[in-house]
Amino acid sequence: HLLFLVRDWSFPYEYEYGSIGGNRLLDSRLKIQPNHHSEHETVRRHIRSCFSRVTCFLLPHPGSKVATSPQFDGRLSDIDRDFIRELSILVPTILSPSSLQLKKINGEKVTCRELVTYFKAYMEIYQGDSLPEPRSMLEATAEANNLNAIMISQELYTEAMNK
């Protein structure tokens, strides 16, 4: 399951806060248009095909005290009510036992160690001030797939040689 979490959403009159508005926004952004470059079409298809579910949740801004006050210490009274309301919907959805599922890629179970390889690949492309090109995200995923395949093959080979 891939969840796009958008914080500081400023257009609730276009797409309402929460999952309903978020999923409507996501559908509009992932819709393939005739004028899209083939690279962007590929990314849109790839996102949907890589995950069993792709959703989006829109959160409002948490409030000016949270964002600008050096004295902000986490008090709920300083956080915008709309933000608290939406967060109280989001958190149980993410952390409920029914939401915690075994991670899979291409239908195959992913171990914690393999998952770390994906995280490292994505962290590498997100370093810097600008968003990565869609192609680099696909390449990072492919590279992580290849590195995990090599790692698994090496383990199998080592096990076979030790027998």
Mean pLDDT for the stretch of residues 43-70: 86
Q: How far apart are CA 32 and CA 40, in angstroms?
A: 8
For residue 132, the model assigns a pLDDT of 60
Query: Which CA distances in Å does 135 have to 26, 37, 46, 54, 131?
Result: 19, 11, 11, 19, 11
Beta bridge partners of 3: 55
Q: Residue written as tokens 């948490």?
A: 62
For residue 41, the model assigns a pLDDT of 77
Retrieve residue 130's tokens.
Answer: 């600008």
Residue 16 DSSP SS3 = coil
Q: What one-character DSSP code corresponds to residue 14? A: T
Residues 109-136 pLDDT 10s: 888 888 888 778 777 776 766 656 665 6
* Contact assessment for residue 36 and residue 107, using Cβ atoms and an 8 Å cutoff: no
Q: Using H for helix, E for strand and C for coil, what is the string for 45-96?
A: HHHHHHCCCEEEEECCCCCHHHHHCCCCCCCHHHCCHHHHHHHHHHHHHHHC
Q: How far apart are CA 118 and CA 95, in angstroms?
A: 22
pTM: 0.67
